[in-house]
Amino acid sequence: MPISRDDVLHVARLARLALTEDEVERLTHELADIVEAVGIVAELDLEGVPPTSHPRGLVNVMDDDEPRPPLPLEDVLANAPDHEGNLFRVPAWRQ
Amino acid sequence: MAPVVDTLRLTAEQAAALLERREISPAELREAYFEAIAERDGELHCYLRTTETAEGDGVPIALKDVISTKGVETTAGSRILAGYVPVFDATVAARVKAAGLSLLGKTNTDEFAMGSSTENSAYGPSRNPWDPTRVPGGSGGGSAAAVTAGLAPWALGSDTGGSIKQPSALCGNVGLRPTYGSVSRYGVVAFASSLDQIGPVAKTVRDVALLYSIIAGRDPLDSTTAELPEPVRLPEDDSLAGLRIGVPTELNEAEGIEPGVRDAVRRTLELAEELGAEVGECSLPRSVRYGLPCYYLIAPAEASSNLARYDGIRYGARAEGSSYQEVVERTRDEGFGDEPKRRIMLGTYALSAGYYDAYYGQAQKVRTLIIEEHREALERFDLLACPTSPTVAFPLGERADDPLAMYAADLLTIPSCLAGLPGLSIPCGLSDGLPVGLQLIGPQFGENTLFRAGHALEQALGFDTVPERWR
Amino acid sequence: MSWEPVIGLEIHVQLKTKTKMFCRCPVGFGAGENTQTCPVCLGFPGALPVTNRVAVEWTILLGLALDCTIAERAVFARKNYFYPDLPKGYQISQYDLPLCKDGKMLVPTADGDRVIGIVRAHLEEDAAKTVHVGGSTGRIGGAAWSLVDYNRGGTPLVEIVTAPDLHSPEEAKRFLQLLRQTIVELGISDAEMEKGTLRVDANVSVRPAGSDELRTRTEIKNMNSFTFIARGIEAEVERQIAVWEAGEEVRQETYDFDAATGRLTPRRAKEEADDYRYFPEPDLVPVEPDRRLVERLRAELPELPAARIRRIEGELGLERAIVLVTGGLDRLWQETVEAGADALAAANVVANNLVRAGVDPELVSPKELAKLVGARERIPRVAFDEAIARLGEPGFSADPYLAREAVSDVAALDPLVDAILAAHPEQVAAYRGGKEGLLGFFVGQVMRETDGTANPRVVSDLLREKLAG
């Protein structure tokens, strides 16, 4: 299935990337090539093959419900591009 | 008066012995590396930043810039993390510090470890110490080149599809990608969670084994880690008697393997037989044809999600905008380079409604097949062997505009990464004056066997890790 | 044509574990902003989640109480979307392999038990809290900002999804009361809507009564009490019926319920259709609940509210039984009856007087309460009310109150009653004209004049006699 310009725009919106016109143009071609190359996985009949989301079969790795000290507030905010008091600040969601 | 140390030749083991015998002070040892950095890093650009002061009176170490270091800027080679100074140490950083190792600096990497040449670093490429017109490999080209150039005795890298092994091969040193889950990923800027592993780069197999013993083992902060089933053994044996080495036909005869690379590997396998190993052919029928496609669906899919946290709210660079959406979209467009964008787009597409089953879902099933066929081969053999990289170091710029050609650099390292298996690359000769890497692949937690084989071959090969131009 | 509402609920319950779902930051209200956070719940680069074992066990416990199948293998998945309150750009939730599915809850009704299907109950992490400041409301339209506090981010949340098996707002409310009581009794959450530890969204559609079609549904959010949920659903049902009857189509939309006005306001359509790109969370490994653990938890389940309602309704009637059980009062009632109190009288005192006085039933001695129930007609009302109010105090004894006698002497009350009637000729006329409900008014006047010491029954009898005359 070839990748269209609309696909690229749709995916860019999902991924929250404000692509420039040039980038849209270039990615449309590049993604089409890459998707064609990786699309050969479709050749294999994998009916009944279980998917692997993890290379090792670990299960039930859990931690006890015992609190550990949180970060000091100055560390929490140390890298914040913007904050107001102890709160991170960002322009509001556009309705 | 301290002895003059030749950092080009000094191994970490030797450095530790000098310190132990008090023949050199920790400060003098660090100074020797900083002198080497001053002399050669202008050309090579291995370091993104050095740390003039650091705790620890042990052997110094360099860390790839994807590893969080408390109080030391960590950018993962990306503009989007410019100025980001972690407030906590990655577990591996904490473990090397606890072992007394002192931090020399943070090494260059392709942005978010996405690449095979370091040309995708937002801060400019590193260069190959053997030939500075060529790439050092990637993504961990900074760590690999630093070790070869004597700018660090050893270093840590991260490997998702070959980012430790391939640069080690191209720079002529030893790199280990450990078994998935044997080394903590906590605090390592994530690329693809089900594939990322941290591992050592050094001049000798023994150094690699020693550094691995420092960083490996279960970490309660990383749910995917496990305790090692047996302690790490520093290899001493020069014999390969009784060892069965499988040579997967497809990984040794794949299209694109340079003749010089094939010859060096074939000669090394003959040497292995002379050392007592049984060498036989085997097959990984789907791993080469489908490994790369499988990887380039799974890794970008996970990456698209892992890179979603870079929104300019809590850390990192932020672009201005009048709404949340505008801030996030512009921050990401300005902050990410071409390769992360390409992979975010590809991964988002592979996961999106209507395509999941055909791409991501199918790739997860292919992964099952690849795991299975490695398991079958490793039932007959103790190790598998093939070239690490199909080619020697390629010239800067050669593949920079051709993503698919760049992706092919990891053709031979990717299958075992998908299977979660450990892989060791050792230098096994030169082709056109450039190093060739031999890749040894073991079963899960088979690191000790890799060390044993790697060490015996290293001794027999006598490869000189110092680039010819500096001998 | 008559219409039948079709209602499904989506319920979020915040667990009261000591720590968060995927990090060990303490969970708690009232801490300073962003002081209960760490690299994990702030989404710092490289931070990784680690599952809270207690949250998993509690979700299994809830699943068992809801008669669910507990998964052999449950998998956490990433739900990918961008929002200021979501630090990683994804929420760790469960998708195709939830911990609990295919359950049911019984809602006792006069016509037998209604069976409400539970589609699934899964575990996820809560979002952070954002506060909106500034904005375009003023004429100048200053910059609008979101301020983010990540303290709540990462708190364990169980999402329960019911089948569309509820058919009236009242039934939905009743189901929720029972569910809430079940959760509270399991000790896994405070489940308080006002605090946001219990949140409910409703999916509503209507269909011609008797048909089994499923028409377009809408979602209602932001209803923060059971009463508002019933009202919100009611309003939406009426709106949809009006739409269909006008020959138009109900559109799939999401509405916010405004409790102040009782109005539903549609949310603006999103710029992009939801595509959460779920995939298995690679930083976590699957949960495969040990069957022995599941059986142990099953054995620990207390008798559930619905079963208790059925058990006590014979003595009390269904409505009283429901009030006692969903109010968490039935155990005290039971023990008070066992201590010798009359069942109905005890039920009324527990459900009315005790609740009105705000007494914690856990602190009440059933024996002392039984004494008060027995004496409530005999002792002065003030004495009774005072005793009820103090029931929760340590070492409370009813005896001093039992010694206080109400004035039951007709001769003593007679002149007072005459005086009251004489003072309210209009009410007397109205009563005699048929407004017998005014009796309570006259009783109240007498009680006030006697400072609550008169025996209300004697007063009523006397009043009735005189008013009839």
Per-residue confidence band for B2, with pLDDT thresholds at 50, 70 and 90 = low
What DSSP letter does each residue of B244-261 carry, written as one string?
EEEEEHHHHS-TT--HHH
Helices assigned H by DSSP within B307-440: 324-335, 338-351, 362-380, 403-407, 414-418
Reading across the β-sheet that carries C76-80, which strands appear in turn?
Answer: C90-94, C76-80, C279-280
Q: Check C43 against B309: CB less than 8 A apart.
A: yes
Is B64 labeled as catalytic in the residue annotation? yes
CB of C150 less than 8 A from some CB of A: yes
Say if residue B139 is preceded by a cis peptide, omega within 30 of 0: yes
Q: What is the CA radius of gyration of chain C?
A: 28
Per-residue model confidence (pLDDT) at position C140: 43
Please report whether residue A21 resides in a domain.
Answer: yes
Residue C463 tokens read as 């009043």
DSSP B357: I
Q: Check B190 against C45: CB less than 8 A apart.
A: yes
Pair C240, C272 in one domain: yes
Q: Are B222 and B178 in contact (CB under 8 A)?
A: no
Residue of C285, C287, C288, C291 to mutate, interface with A, max A Cβ within 10 Å: C285
Pair C257, C336 in one domain: no
Proportion of chain C above pLDDT 70, given as a percent: 97
Residue of B224, B365, B418 to mutate, interface with A, max A Cβ within 10 Å: B365
Q: C residues 16-45 near B, CB within 8 Å?
A: 39, 42-45
Inform me whether the pLDDT recorded for C88 exceeds 90: yes
Higher pLDDT, B15 or A53: B15
Distance of CA B384 to the CA centre of its chain: 19
The burial class, CB within 10 Å (0-12 / 13-18 / 19+), for B368 is middle
Please report whether residue A75 resides in a domain.
Answer: no
Q: Are C178 and C306 in contact (CB under 8 A)?
A: yes
Strands B383-387 and B423-431 come out as unpaired
Q: Reduced to 3 states, what is the DSSP secondary structure of residue C25?
A: coil
Per-residue model confidence (pLDDT) at position A2: 76
C140 Cβ neighbours under 8 A, 6+ residues apart: none
Is the dihedral angle over the CA atoms C293, A58, A63, B210 positive or is it negative? positive
- pLDDT digit string, tens, across residues B376-433: 999 999 999 999 999 999 999 999 889 999 999 999 999 999 999 999 999 999 999 9
> How many CB pairs below 8 Å do chains B and C form together?
101
Pair C62, C136 in one domain: yes
Q: B residues 96-155 near A, CB within 8 Å?
A: none
Q: What is d(CA C104, CA C122) in angstroms, rounded to the nearest whole number? A: 15
Residue C446 tokens read as 């007498």
Please report whether residue C319 resides in a domain.
Answer: no
Distance from CA of B310 to the nearest CA of A (A): 10
Domain boundary among C280, C297, C314: C297
- CA distances in angstroms from B120 to B124, B200, B405, C422, listed in the order given: 8, 22, 14, 100
Residue of B109, B324, B367 to mutate, interface with C, max C Cβ within 10 Å: B324
Residue with tokens 């920790």: B26
Count of other CB atoms within 10 angstroms of residue A46:
18
Q: What is d(CA B467, CA B434) in angstroms, rounded to the nearest whole number? A: 9
Domain boundary among C368, C384, C402: C402
Is B139 labeled as catalytic in the residue annotation? yes
Distance from CA of A65 to the nearest CA of B (A): 13
- pLDDT digit string, tens, across residues C232-247: 999 999 999 999 999 9
Residue C120 tokens read as 């699934």
CATH superfamily name and code, B12-286+384-470: Amidase signature (AS) domain (3.90.1300.10)
CATH number at residue C460: 1.10.10.410
Q: What is d(CA B289, CA B369) in angstroms, rounded to the nearest whole number? A: 12
Pair C64, C177 in one domain: yes
Neighbours of chain A (3+ CB pairs under 8 A): B, C
Q: Check A62 against C75: CB less than 8 A apart.
A: no
Per-residue model confidence (pLDDT) at position B50: 98
Inform me whether the pLDDT recorded for B79 exceeds 50: yes
CB of B219 less than 8 A from some CB of A: no
Q: What is d(CA A19, CA B345) in angstroms, rounded to the nearest whole number? A: 11
Task: Report the chain B residue with the minimal C-alpha distance to residue C148.
Answer: B313
- pLDDT digit string, tens, across residues C256-274: 988 888 888 888 766 556 7
Please report whether residue C8 resides in a domain.
Answer: yes
Task: Report the chain A residue with the minimal C-alpha distance to residue C83.
Answer: A93
Neighbours of chain C (3+ CB pairs under 8 A): A, B
Per-residue confidence band for C468, with pLDDT thresholds at 50, 70 and 90 = confident
Pair C168, C257 in one domain: yes
The burial class, CB within 10 Å (0-12 / 13-18 / 19+), for C396 is middle
Task: Report the chain C residue with the minimal C-alpha distance to residue B88.
Answer: C39
Q: What is the CA radius of gyration of chain B?
A: 21
Please report whether residue A82 resides in a domain.
Answer: no
Distance of CA C1 to the CA centre of its chain: 33
Please report whether residue A51 resides in a domain.
Answer: no
Contacts of A59 in chain C (CB under 8 A): 73, 285-288
HSE-CB at B201 with a 13 A cutoff on CA atoms is: 40
Instruction: Tell which residue, C211, C212, C214, C266, has the closest CA to residue C236.
Output: C266
What DSSP letter does each residue of B149-171 carry, written as one string?
TTS-SEEEEEESSSTTHHHHHHH
Per-residue model confidence (pLDDT) at position C453: 81
Task: Report the chain B residue with the minimal C-alpha distance to residue A52.
Answer: B364
Q: Check B368 against A44: CB less than 8 A apart.
A: no
CB of C135 less than 8 A from some CB of B: no
A95 Cβ neighbours under 8 A, 6+ residues apart: C268
What DSSP letter does each residue of C289-303 carry, written as one string?
--HHHHHHHHHHPPP
Q: Are B178 and B225 in contact (CB under 8 A)?
A: no
Instruction: Find the farthest-apart pair of alpha carbons in chain A and give their distance in angstroms, rounded.
Output: 58
A52 Cβ neighbours under 8 A, 6+ residues apart: B364, B365, B367, B368, B371
Residue A25 tokens read as 């143009």
Contacts of C47 in chain B (CB under 8 A): 186-187
Q: Check C45 against B221: CB less than 8 A apart.
A: no
Q: Which of C43, C277, C283 sits opposite B193 (nearest CB)?
A: C283
Domain locations in chain B as residue ranges: 12-286+384-470, 290-366
Contacts of A34 in chain B (CB under 8 A): 296, 342, 346, 403-404
CA angle A20, B116, B470 (to 5 degrees): 130
Task: Report the chain A residue with the minimal C-alpha distance to residue C54.
Answer: A65
CB of A30 less than 8 A from some CB of B: yes
Helices (H) then strands (E): counts for chain B: 15, 11
Element (H, E) at C146: strand C144-149
Contacts of A18 in chain B (CB under 8 A): 326, 329-330, 332-333
Q: Reduced to 3 states, what is the DSSP secondary structure of residue C372?
A: helix
Inform me whether the pLDDT recorded for C72 exceeds 80: yes
Residues B163, B184, B213, B304: which is the catalytic one?
A: B163
Query: How much is the average pLDDT of C439-463?
Result: 86
Please report whether residue A22 resides in a domain.
Answer: yes
Residues B68, B78, B126, B139: which is the catalytic one?
A: B139
Virtual CA dihedral for B220, B223, B227, B232, nearest 10 degrees?
-100
**Can you name the residues that pair with C214 across neighbouring β-strands?**
none
- pLDDT digit string, tens, across residues B195-209: 999 999 999 999 999
Per-residue confidence band for A15, with pLDDT thresholds at 50, 70 and 90 = very high
Contacts of A27 in chain B (CB under 8 A): 341-342, 345
Pair C421, C375 in one domain: no
Element (H, E) at C226: helix C226-245
Phi, psi of B114 (to 5 degrees): -100, 95
Helices (H) then strands (E): counts for chain C: 16, 15
Residues B64, B97, B106, B165: which is the catalytic one?
A: B64
Instruction: Convert C190-214 to b/e letters by CB count within 10 Å (16 or more is b).
Output: bbebeeebbbbbbbbbbbeeeeeee
pTM: 0.92
Q: Are C178 and C324 in contact (CB under 8 A)?
A: no
CB of A35 less than 8 A from some CB of B: yes
Is the dihedral angle over the CA atoms B237, B242, B243, B248 positive or is it negative? positive
At C105, the amino acid letter reads M
Please count the residues of chain B.
471
Instruction: Convert C235-251 to b/e letters by CB count within 10 Å (16 or more is b).
Output: bbbebbbeebeeeeebe
Q: What is d(CA C141, CA C311) in angstroms, rounded to the nearest whole number? A: 61
Inform me whether the pLDDT recorded for C205 exceeds 60: yes
Query: How much is the average pLDDT of C173-194?
Result: 96
Could you tell me the residue range of the domain that residue C455 belongs to? 410-468
Contacts of B325 in chain A (CB under 8 A): 16, 93-94
CB of A82 less than 8 A from some CB of B: yes
C86 Cβ neighbours under 8 A, 6+ residues apart: C127, C128, C153
Q: Which of C39, C89, C284 sits opposite B223 (nearest CB)?
A: C284
Per-residue model confidence (pLDDT) at position C139: 43
Q: Are C198 and C13 in contact (CB under 8 A)?
A: yes
DSSP C428: H
Inform me whether the pLDDT recorded for A32 exceeds 80: yes
Domain count, chain C: 3
- pLDDT digit string, tens, across residues C97-106: 999 999 999 9
Residue of B109, B160, B305 to mutate, interface with C, max C Cβ within 10 Å: B305
Per-residue model confidence (pLDDT) at position C262: 81
Q: What is d(CA C180, CA C139) in angstroms, rounded to the nearest whole number? A: 44
Element (H, E) at B457: helix B447-461
Inform me whether the pLDDT recorded for C146 exceeds 70: yes
Element (H, E) at B89: none
Pair C251, C388 in one domain: no
Q: Are C373 and C349 in contact (CB under 8 A)?
A: yes
Q: Are C154 and C126 in contact (CB under 8 A)?
A: yes
Pair C356, C429 in one domain: no
Q: What is d(CA B179, CA B184) in angstroms, rounded to the nearest whole number? A: 11
Residue C415 tokens read as 């002149």
Inform me whether the pLDDT recorded for B212 exceeds 70: yes
Residue of B197, B302, B304, B314 to mutate, interface with A, max A Cβ within 10 Å: B314
Q: What is the mean pLDDT of chain B?
A: 97
Please count the residues of chain A.
95
Instruction: Tell which residue, B213, B212, B208, B115, has the closest CA to residue B160.
Output: B115
Please report whether residue A32 resides in a domain.
Answer: yes
At C225, the amino acid letter reads S
Reduced to 3 DSSP states, what percent helix, strand and coil does chain A have, rounded to the nearest 5? Answer: 40, 10, 50
Per-residue model confidence (pLDDT) at position C138: 45
Task: Report the chain C residue with the minimal C-alpha distance to residue A57.
Answer: C285
Mean pLDDT lowest among B159-173, B230-244, C79-93, C426-440: C426-440
Element (H, E) at C337: helix C330-338
CB of C83 less than 8 A from some CB of A: yes
Inform me whether the pLDDT recorded for A46 exceeds 60: yes
Q: What is d(CA A70, CA B220) in angstroms, rounded to the nearest whole number? A: 16
Is B163 labeled as catalytic in the residue annotation? yes
Distance of CA C392 to the CA centre of its chain: 23
Q: What is d(CA A25, CA C205) in angstroms, rounded to the nearest whole number? A: 44
Pair C385, C424 in one domain: no
Pair C210, C287 in one domain: yes
Count of other CB atoms within 10 angstroms of residue B356:
18
Inform me whether the pLDDT recorded for B262 exceeds 80: yes
Q: Check C131 against A87: CB less than 8 A apart.
A: yes
Could you tell me the residue range of the domain that residue A34 belongs to? 5-43
Q: B residues 301-320 near A, CB within 8 Å?
A: 304, 308, 311-318
- pLDDT digit string, tens, across residues B337-369: 999 999 999 999 999 988 999 999 999 999 999
